[in-house]
Amino acid sequence: MSNKYTEDDLREELKTKEYEYGFYTDIESETFPNGLNEDIVRAISKKKEEPEWMTEWRLEAFKIWKEMTEPEWANVHYQKPDFQGISYYSAPNSKPKYDSIDEVDPELLATFEKLGISLDEQKKLAGVAMDVVVDSVSVATTFKKTLGEKGIIFMSISEAIKEHPELVKKYLGTVVPQKDNFYAALNSAVFSDGSFCYIPKGVRCPMELSTYFRINQAGTGQFERTLVIADEGSYVSYLEGCTAPSRDENQLHAAVVELIALDDAEIKYSTVQNWYPGNAEGKGGVFNFVTKRGLCEKNAKISWTQVETGSAVTWKYPSCVLKGDNSVGEFYSIAVTNNYQQADTGTKMIHLGKNTKSTIISKGISAGKSQNSYRGLVQISSRADNARNFSQCDSLLMGNDCGAHTFPYIEVKNKSAQIEHEATTSKIGEDQIFYCNQRGIDTEKAIALIVNGFSKEVLNKLPMEFAVEAQKLLEISLEGSVG
């Protein structure tokens, strides 16, 4: 067969494939000068018309951050960002805020169209309430009224600070304290915006809540802060997805996400991350240093699902603190790395309460010259009777220049705990490809099929709207790199 699609062809094709979502929207932005000091922190706070306690909270975080050094334990290598060379605030200039979608800058709408997340389409078809964030300030919030009837609060965090200070004050920083880590402290000091969500007692949120983050202004670090509170007996499914325009300069993203699930509540948090991973030579790309953590009270459940395909460097460990008895934590992840991407991602399951359960399913796919690490911690405290954990991390290697690493930490202090951990590393079997070929499926399709099967356990956990996009992203990131 002369026109056989070989692995080399695939690899070649992938190499030349440019970032499909690489474009740049020219919206006049208001940007702060580069650098970070107390005045900048105050200015950000002032800009956002924040109350005094918030300014103080930020300054306290800034003081802590100054004393801290960047963590180096992760299995990633990169040029450290110059924290004084970044502008810490940028907001789209078109004001005031819009009530209807027609008022939105048409250029911005076109951007969304390219991303396949056309607002009106989403509104009509998907029933998804979107709190779209472009460079730090919410420019459109939909379905707010429908949610309002149920008593659900879904708004940008800056609005929430003004409108619901008691809630923000009570919960902000309780799961991820300012001093938690270097990037969390930085985020606490300078976060520009983000989403805030409160589900009242016993309410089941009727739709998937979702936000899209984009980094749009050259050289602007994006510091999102998300706070989701599910009050007793409530349920919410929250989606977060991102694409960013192609840039040469490294962009820093240090977000903090805090989830609080009170008694009997359930939060499902799904992420699709497809930021610019840098070009085929490993130049450029987003640095993604994210702190995500959820707190489970009695009988509560938090489920993290993530599809990580983008970013040059990823440093991300969505965690669950299972504080209440009978609480449940779940982590489903697909991390795909290609070219020179590096990902060090995983989860922490901290079992404090009795009869707590956690499940970890992590699928790592590495291609090109990328390095993909799973780093996880399962900790059973001495009071956590009958704790149960199941972890599975599978890695798929494509080509011979990439690496897959597993660093699972398991710490058990209770005799009734039952922990299972297993990990495998493999490549796509020639026999599998042969089997498909034999049945008239060409190699490229066969590979897509196998990768899909490999990731199915995680893809299945995504809400419908996301599953489609995630599958598309997997194809874009991997198609052609299979070896």
Partner 1 sequence: MDLKDKLVSSFMAFENTVDVDAAVHDVRSEALKSFEDKGFPSKRDEAWKYTSLNSVLKHDYSVFPKQENALEYSDVKKYFIHDIDSYKIVFIDGKYSSHLSQTTHDGIDVCLMSSALSKPKYQLIIENYFNKAATKDGLSSLNTAFSQEGAYVHIPKNKIVEKPIQIIHFSTGNESALMLQPRNLIVVDENSHVQIMERHQSLTDNPVLTNSVTEIFTNKRAIVDYYKLQNDKPTASLIDHTFIKQKRESHASVHTFSFGGQLTRNNLNFYQEGERIDSTLKGVTIIGEKQHVDHNTLVHHIEPNCESHQDYKGIFSDKSTGVFNGKVVVDKIAQKTNAFQANNNILLSDKASINTKPQLEIFADDVKCSHGCTIGQLDDSAMFYMRSRGIPEKEAKALLMFAFSNNVLDSVKIPEIKQRITKIIATKLGVDIGFDL
- Compute the least distance from the CB of residue 355 to partner 1, in Å: 15
Site stretch for partner 1 (CB under 8 A), options 22-30, 113-121, 216-224, 399-407 = 399-407
Site stretch for partner 1 (CB under 8 A), options 43-51, 116-124, 295-303, 395-403 = 395-403
- Compute the least distance from the CB of residue 325 to partner 1, in Å: 17
Interface with partner 1 includes 479 (CB under 8 A)? no
Among 23, 24, 409, 434, binds partner 1 (CB under 8 A): 409
Q: Which residue has the tokens 């987003």?
A: 286
Beta bridge partners of 229: 198, 260
First to last CA, the chain: 19
- Alpha carbon dihedral 417, 420, 421, 426, in 10-degree steps, equals 180
Interface with partner 1 includes 421 (CB under 8 A)? yes
Interface with partner 1 includes 14 (CB under 8 A)? no
Interface with partner 1 includes 424 (CB under 8 A)? yes
Site stretch for partner 1 (CB under 8 A), options 93-101, 268-276, 288-296, 424-432 = 424-432
Among 109, 408, 444, 472, binds partner 1 (CB under 8 A): 408
In sequence order, what are the residues at sequence separation of 6 or more whose Cβ sits closer than 8 angstroms to the Cβ of residue 324?
263, 296, 297, 298, 299, 300, 353
Mind spelling out the 3-state secondary structure of 168-230?
Answer: HHHHCCCCCCCCCCHHHHHHHHHCCECEEEEECCCCECCCCEEEEEECCCCCECECEEEEEEE
Interface with partner 1 includes 427 (CB under 8 A)? yes
Q: 201 or 427: whose CB is closer to partner 1?
A: 427
Count residues binding partner 1 (CB under 8 A).
Answer: 35
- Compute the least distance from the CB of residue 240 to partner 1, in Å: 30
Maximum CA extent, the chain: 73
Q: Which of 137, 168, 153, 155 is nearest to 53 (CA)?
A: 168
Looking only at residues 225 through 264 of this chain, which bind partner 1 when binding is defined by CB under 8 A? none
Q: 136 or 370: whose CB is closer to partner 1?
A: 370
- Compute the least distance from the CB of residue 465 to partner 1, in Å: 34
Q: What is d(CA 183, CA 181) in angstroms, rounded to the nearest whole number? A: 6
Interface with partner 1 includes 282 (CB under 8 A)? no
Q: Give, in order, the Cα–Cα distances in Å from 60 to each of 207, 281, 300.
A: 37, 40, 31
Looking only at residues 53 through 112 of this chain, which bind partner 1 when binding is defined by CB under 8 A? 73
Interface with partner 1 includes 413 (CB under 8 A)? yes
Output DSSP code: residue 299: T
Contact 426, 397 (CB under 8 A): yes
Site map for partner 1, 374-393, x if CB under 8 A? --------x-----------
Q: How many CB atoms sit inside 10 A of residue 238's CB?
A: 24
Phi, psi dihedral angles at 258 (to 5 degrees): -120, 130
The residues that touch partner 1, with contacts defined as CB under 8 A, are: 73, 382, 395, 397-427, 483
